[in-house]
Structure formats: C-alpha cells, structure tokens
Amino acid sequence: MAMSASARLSKTVKQQYMELPQGDKVQAMYVWIDGTGEGLRCKTRTLDSEPKSIDGKNNCQNGISMAPAPSSLRIPSAKTPTNWSCHSFCSFVFLNSELVCLMLVNCCTETNLRLTCKKVMDMVEDQIPWFGMEQEYTILGTDGHPFGWPSNGFPGPQGPYYCGVGADKAYGRDIVEAHYRACLYAGVMICGTNAEVMPAQWEFQVGPCEGINMGDHLWVARFILHRVCEDFGVVASFDPKPIPGNWNGAGCHTNFSTKEMREEGGLKAIEESIERLAKRHSYHIRAYDPKGGLDNARRLTGHHETSNIHEFSAGVANRGASIRIPRSVGQEKKGYFEDRRPSANCDPYAVTEAMIRTCLLSEEGDEPVDY
C-alpha cells in the first residue's frame, strides 16, 4: 500500500520549528467547501491577533484568493472559539498550532447549500429538530488500495471486522483515535466511533445537533479527518462503494427527531413523517448524494444492509429498510427514526434540509418549494 511521501518526513525536525515563538502574530487557516460540494480546501494567512469575531479586516476576501473554486467563496461570520451556536457560520479551533476557521457559505451561489438549509431550519425552529449523522469512511493508501489489505488479493470475508478488536480485525485504529481526540478538542459534537463491516472501513457519529448545527459540525469533523489522515500518509475516502463486489458500501445514516417525536406518544408523529417520506422517495434519493443518486446507485442495491434505491421501505429494527425505527423507539412509542439512504459523500446541508421540507413543511412532489 502506497503512503504519501510527506508522511515519511521527520516530525521531530518539524517540531523544532513548530515550537518557535510567534510573538503577537496568529496563523489562521481558512477552510471552505469547494465547487464539487464534496471536497474541502484550505489556505493560511497571518493575523495580528487571535480573532474573537469576523469583521471587515479579517474577512477572507481581504488579500486571500479562493481559487480554484471561486463559485464557492466562503465568508465566515461572528463566532467564539471552540463553541458553536446555531446562528454561526464559522468556528475557530486550534490544530497543529494553527487557528482554523471553517468558512461556510454566506453568499448566494449555486453551490451554497447552507444558505437555503438555514432558511428552512429557521422556519421550523419552534419544533426543535435534532439530527445525528453516522459518517462512514474508508482508509486508503495514496494508490487507492484499502489500508491493511494484502497487496494482491483480499482479506478474509466480512464478519469479524465490525466493532472488531485485534490486529487481524481492526485496520487503522491509530488514525481513528487521533481523529476522535482532535474533534473533542475542537469542540465538535462527536459522540462515538466504531470499526465497520468492511476491513479498513470506520464510522464516527456526530450529534445530536439542532438544526443547521448538524451540517456545520459534520463538515468540521470531515476536515479534521482529512488532516489527520494527511499526517499519517493515508487518505480518507467517502466513496459510497469504494470496493465493488461482496463488500459493504459506505453511508451516512441520518437520525432525526422533533420535540413532538421525543415526547410521550411521539411514535404517531414519527409514523406521519415516514408516510410523507414514502411519497417523496425520488426527491430524497436525488438530495442524498452529490451526483443526484448516481453514487448511491452503486451502494443501495438491496444487499449489504441497504435498501433498494428504486423502492421505499420502513420497519422496526430493519437494517435493510430505507427508514429504520429503532427497536427501543417501537417499544417506548417515542424517540427518533433513522434514514439509511444518505451516501457517505452526501452534503449534510442537503440531507437535513430535505428531511425538514418533507417531514415538517409537508412538501410534496419532485421539486423543493421556493420560499
């Protein structure tokens, strides 16, 4: 398996420079979602002091070009360090001695999925929508070969790897644990992680997050994962089906609830939402991966714990359904449900917006309503 050349550079030598005093200057790394809607980009500039908010003199448009994705210019707004609020576009965190600012969209472009998501979330804020997203990913070498897999052939069949322990079952745990700690340090609402069904495939969970916070936190967590993998010389892939054949794909199962669903008798509201989702299956399939369903078509085959992309289904404790009601929710008659259709490379803003439009705004048809 090929690893990046930069990973073999001496970290001890680098540390000598990282410990040099910087005086009053601060390195600020700006991060933005590129025009593909999947990739993240970043660049660094020097600030005179640690910013407590984003104002004109610290605006990313001042002296910093966003090429090669000008259509996706991200402009941050006010935010306090390491602490999100649902009205913020930006978060400051420290990573490798650099101040990191996630610049999420505050401008009108076709690739700005946060803008409409925020508008929709504001319309239903009184219902207190909560989301939790289960981000699956695969660790690859720079040559695209799964981490830890034999150079020729395949590892043993799936079965022992899910939540596995041991060098022959868990591939790349150092990366997973480093990412987990970095997310906690950054203030990301990461709530768990585990090895997945395919070897070298892992999952981390973010949430519960209210409204627009879900997308903000997941994008930050993805950026941190890419940076951690870069240090280890490997690649984090969100491809929904990185290895064809009898191997599990990668999704981003999305858990959803409202205040009404979480209260006594909330199962009725859950069932009503599922009925609305059933009538709008094709709309959600298009919203649940960046290529309008083409990526998910490789994953949602009806096998490997997935539903068929052409059919809608729901059930209690059914991992092969489009929508799964957890067994505990079925017993307690309240709680949340899980939409298992979103792909690993989905945009969380698109997914959560679509769920609000259908479940809470009762939209119908194949196109979103223009508010």
Give this prediction's pTM: 0.89
Of 2 and 111, the one with more pLDDT: 2
CB-based contacts of 294, cutoff 8 Å, min separation 6: none
Res. 349 pLDDT band, cuts 50 70 90: very high
pLDDT tens digits, 293-337: 999 999 999 999 999 999 999 999 999 999 999 999 999 999 999
pLDDT tens digits, 130-147: 999 999 999 999 999 999
What is the average pLDDT value for the chain, to the nearest integer?
A: 85
Q: Going by CATH, does the domain composed of 119-359 fall within 3.40.50.880?
A: no
Looking up tokens 């707004």 gives: 77
Cβ proximity of 365 and 310 under 8 Å: no
Of 308 and 15, the one with more pLDDT: 308
Mean pLDDT value of segment 176-181: 95
Q: What is the pLDDT of residue 75?
A: 29
- pLDDT greater than 50 at residue 40: yes
Res. 47 pLDDT band, cuts 50 70 90: confident
Res. 43 pLDDT band, cuts 50 70 90: confident
Q: What is the pLDDT of residue 86?
A: 24
Of 74 and 364, the one with more pLDDT: 364
164-187 burial, b for 16+ CB within 10 Å, e for fewer?
Answer: beeeebbbbeebbebbbebbeebb
- DSSP assignment, residue 109? -
Q: What is the pLDDT of residue 31?
A: 80
Most trustworthy range by pLDDT among 27-31, 50-54, 97-101, 337-341: 337-341
- pLDDT greater than 50 at residue 55: no
Of 334 and 85, the one with more pLDDT: 334
Alpha helices, DSSP H, located in the chain: 11-18, 113-123, 173-186, 213-232, 259-262, 267-278, 281-287, 294-297, 327-332, 348-359
Of 11 and 197, the one with more pLDDT: 197
Res. 84 pLDDT band, cuts 50 70 90: very low
Q: What is the pLDDT of residue 207?
A: 95
Question: For residue 241, is it left (φ>0), alpha (ψ between -120 and 50) or beta?
Answer: beta
Mean pLDDT value of segment 107-124: 83
Of 83 and 139, the one with more pLDDT: 139
Q: What is the pLDDT of residue 33?
A: 83
- pLDDT greater than 90 at residue 246: yes
Sequence spans of domains, the chain: 7-111, 119-359
Structure tokens at 10: 């001496």
For 283, phi then psi, to 5°, come to -60, -45
- pLDDT greater than 50 at residue 248: yes
Res. 342 pLDDT band, cuts 50 70 90: very high
Res. 1 pLDDT band, cuts 50 70 90: confident
- pLDDT greater than 70 at residue 69: no
Q: What is the pLDDT of residue 89?
A: 33
- Residues 336 and 226: their CA atoms lie apart, in Å, by 30
Mean pLDDT value of segment 6-24: 89
Q: What is the pLDDT of residue 110?
A: 67
Fold for 7-111, please state it. Answer: Ubiquitin-like (UB roll) (3.10.20)
Mean pLDDT value of segment 258-283: 98
- Residues 288 and 293: their CA atoms lie apart, in Å, by 7
